[in-house]
Structure 1
Amino acid sequence: MKNLFLVSIISVLFLQSCSQEAWLSGTLNLKGGGDWKPMVYLVYPEKFEAVAQSFVGKVLDSAQVDENGRFEFKGNPAFQEPVLLEIVVQKLGEKYPNRLLNKNPETDNYFPLIYNPDNHLTIDADIAHFQSSFSIKEPSPKNEAMLELRDLRLTAFKKYLEGQQDGSGADEDLLERESNQYGYRKELIDFSDTSEELMPAMVALRWASPEGDYERVAELAYAQSRKWNNVYPEHPWAKELASIVSKENLPILIGNTIPDLQLPIKDNGTVNLKEILEENKLTLLDVWASWCAPCRVENRNVLVPLWEKFNTEGFQIMAYGLESSEKAWNNAIEKDGAHRWLHASHLQGDQNPFMETLRLKTIPANFLLNEEGDVLAKNLHGQDLMDFVNDYMSSP
């Protein structure tokens, strides 16, 4: 009798398991995917910083892909409200299910989507072009926004970054590459700015910098932090974003006032930045180094002509060098013809009080300052810098 009862219980549980509907199912095109595992992983980024980041998302589940490319997940995740999940595939030999690729959206191995306990999700994708081919049957408005973001990212990548993914390129091309990187990031952050959906907007901000480095897009990221904290002041991701891109963690923003720095001037002595600003209509605070090839090109081709044209009218350059060798510093100044303007350095390399105070990590960098020390513009180079100085110095 006991055995019959036990068999009945096991049969009921088996039938319940078999009848349980899949909350996520789909089909993968396996053609050309011989070096990919026939598995799909479900990863949960618990924090904003974990989105689009390798090895930190929590692996919730996995599903086998059959010979026809079909897979399904049964047993809903234990979330009572919509959350962001990442659907991931991995190559053969990869030990970590939560490794996420962010090298090329054409072939990246994951897609972030919104899980809603009330909805069934049906997806299709090419396993070898997972992110770019990912589709959702009858997507919700939130997932529709995620697909739109994916398309925008793919287009922006092809427009700005596709040609520089091999890591090659002369040092002199650094400014062009940085300009392209800025254009790519701006398009993603602009999506966040126009979106009404929090989660897709957060993914856009993470895709703008999977490393969480917003130094070169500080003003754009800070504006998004303010927007989403106004809309969702209690959401943990909005609070986390506010902490990451607070003014205390970003370089001085356009519109803010630069602190009065006391700088160790070349050939001994010190100078207060405030005194230089008060004596000039416009001051370029230029952060460079003798070993920085694009800095050296800009010295010769941009800064010398600007100084020659406008110095007598109230334009000054205060150059800070990330130097450890005084000899190399002096040689570069003389060779570039940069001896015309002011130079300062702690001669401590890139670990120095100047970079710490301004919260800078990357060069070339610059700030255009008025007499009061207000930041009018920053990180302008080449023709953009020449145009700004020309226009400002020509104004009343």
Structure 2
Amino acid sequence: MRIIPHKNTLGLILMSLVLLACDSPVPISGKLKGNNKNNLKVYLIQPGSLQEVAATYFGKIIDSALVDPNGSFEFHNLPDSKEPVLLEIAVQQVGKAPGYLQTEDPENSNYMPIVWQGEALEITAHAEKFQKSFTIEKASEDNKQLLQLRDVKYEAFQTYLAGKEWNVKNGSQLLEKEHAILQYQEKLMQFANNSKSLLPAMVALRWVSPEKNYERVPEFLVNQCEKWKKEQPDHPWVKELCHAGDPANLPVLVGDEFSDFELSLVTKDTVALKNILGERLTIIDLWASWCAPCRKENRDVLVPLWNKYHDRGLQIIAYGLESDESIWKAAAERDGADKWIQASDLQGDDAPFLKRIRIRVIPANFILNEKGVVIAKNLHGEALKELVKEQILKE
């Protein structure tokens, strides 16, 4: 027997369905505090690859919402995925480039990465200090990690970079600036190394260098690849990471044996690098006559080290990015750097030696033990002095 419901019953059912639809949670909603600007718009961005994370204009905008006078906004167009998805929420004035991410200053950064996994998210942030003030109601573990990472980045930025000024026009404080940047990066790298969640670790990796320049920290890429290919080998971002972290594409790593090269010396002779290694320690120094911090390092660091430790097993092999032989020789003599081995192919920035060790930026150095294994690199000033002293004097 078939029962036909009364028309009033049908009406109640339809009304209940409508109410249920209205009460269903909005996937992502939020409220901006301090909204003193009119025409603010919030964008939901999905990076399509690892290199698009924290990269201005590269991620795909999948939804947008005008911020109402009360500061509220909602997103409804979410990815159809059962797996965790990294998204970025960015705020921008209407009329300005929607995909712009302010990546340089955490104090005023206009975006925040989140992990979405099908759940409703409620967000609160200040319109002017979006990333710094960003919070999520009942955040998941991944989102808690991202908020923690945000705090790590902000604290490191305030400690090492905020308000700092270096005189880099003549190169006199270039190494000081590089050291400060490395200290900042080390905090983010430490977070990534300790993270047990892939997506927060990948955000940390990208925040280490939004410009995708890891020449000074290639070991970090290699270690991250080794870590995550064990945990999630099929994830496309892990595959992308491991391609970037292939040692064949990176500068010589700490722990590698430095390759044996035929070097063209200032004396016109050629010699195999392995035949001129120091008995205890060798510094491979990459420099140029036009490089102010290199010249300062020659005079203030390398000459004293040579004078003190050469007879105790220290060797210095310098390779110059030079094209003019007379200028190269004059600079070495003026600095006192003609005391140790000087080599160059006299091809300037197109130096074959730098290409083979995959280095583009100087000053740079590699410190080798007596077997030619790299034990440290890119140490300068007092840090280099201390390492040489420790290695030469150890039993």
Shift of 1:389: 1.1
Aligned to 1:100: 101
Asked whether the equivalents of residues 44 and 64 of structure 2 are also in contact (C-alpha less than 8 Å), the reply is yes
For the residue of structure 1 that corresponds to 2:86, the secondary structure is strand
* Correspondent of 2:29 among 25, 30, 35: 25
Partners in 2 of 1:166 and 1:302 — Cα distance? Answer: 20
Structure 1 unaligned segments of length 5 or more: list them. 1-10
Shift of 1:164: 3.5
Partners in 1 of 2:165 and 2:117 — Cα distance? Answer: 36
Partners in 2 of 1:193 and 1:49 — Cα distance? Answer: 19
Partners in 2 of 1:166 and 1:287 — Cα distance? Answer: 22
Report 1:1-396 matches (<5 A). Answer: 21-33=25-37, 37-91=39-93, 93-95=95-97, 97-117=98-118, 119-164=119-164, 171-277=171-277, 280-396=279-395
Partners in 2 of 1:318 and 1:76 — Cα distance? Answer: 57
Q: Which amino acid aligns with 2:160?
A: Y
Instruction: State the percentage of identical aligned residues.
Output: 46
Shift of 1:72: 0.8
Partners in 1 of 2:292 and 2:285 — Cα distance? Answer: 14
Shift of 1:272: 1.0
Shift of 1:221: 2.7
Shift of 1:75: 4.2
Deviations 1:320-355 (A, max 9, x none): 011122232122111111111111111112222111
Partners in 2 of 1:170 and 1:201 — Cα distance? Answer: 37
Partners in 1 of 2:207 and 2:233 — Cα distance? Answer: 22
Q: Which amino acid aligns with 2:116?
A: Y
Deviations 1:132-172 (A, max 9, x none): 11111110111011100000100001011112379867521
Q: Which amino acid aligns with 2:346?
A: L
Partners in 2 of 1:228 and 1:52 — Cα distance? Answer: 20
Q: Normalization by structure 2: what TM-score?
A: 0.91
Shift of 1:173: 1.1
Partners in 2 of 1:19 and 1:123 — Cα distance? Answer: 18
Structure 2 unaligned segments of length 5 or more: list them. 1-13
Partners in 2 of 1:391 and 1:281 — Cα distance? Answer: 11
Partners in 1 of 2:243 and 2:317 — Cα distance? Answer: 32
| CA separation of 1:168 and 1:280: change in aligned 2, threshold 3 A | closer
| CA separation of 1:236 and 1:65: change in aligned 2, threshold 3 A | same
Partners in 2 of 1:269 and 1:94 — Cα distance? Answer: 60
Partners in 2 of 1:129 and 1:168 — Cα distance? Answer: 30
Q: How many residues align?
A: 382
Q: Which amino acid aligns with 1:219?
A: E
Partners in 2 of 1:251 and 1:150 — Cα distance? Answer: 29
For the residue of structure 2 that corresponds to 1:89, the secondary structure is strand
Asked whether the equivalents of residues 20 and 74 of structure 1 are also in contact (C-alpha less than 8 Å), the reply is no
Asked whether the equivalents of residues 186 and 220 of structure 1 are also in contact (C-alpha less than 8 Å), the reply is no
Deviations 1:185-244 (A, max 9, x none): 111010011111111011001101111111111223321221111111121111111111
| CA separation of 1:69 and 1:165: change in aligned 2, threshold 3 A | farther
Q: Normalization by structure 1: what TM-score?
A: 0.91
Asked whether the equivalents of residues 21 and 74 of structure 1 are also in contact (C-alpha less than 8 Å), the reply is no
Shift of 1:374: 0.7
Deviations 1:232-279 (A, max 9, x none): 1121111111111111121111111011011111131211101101x6
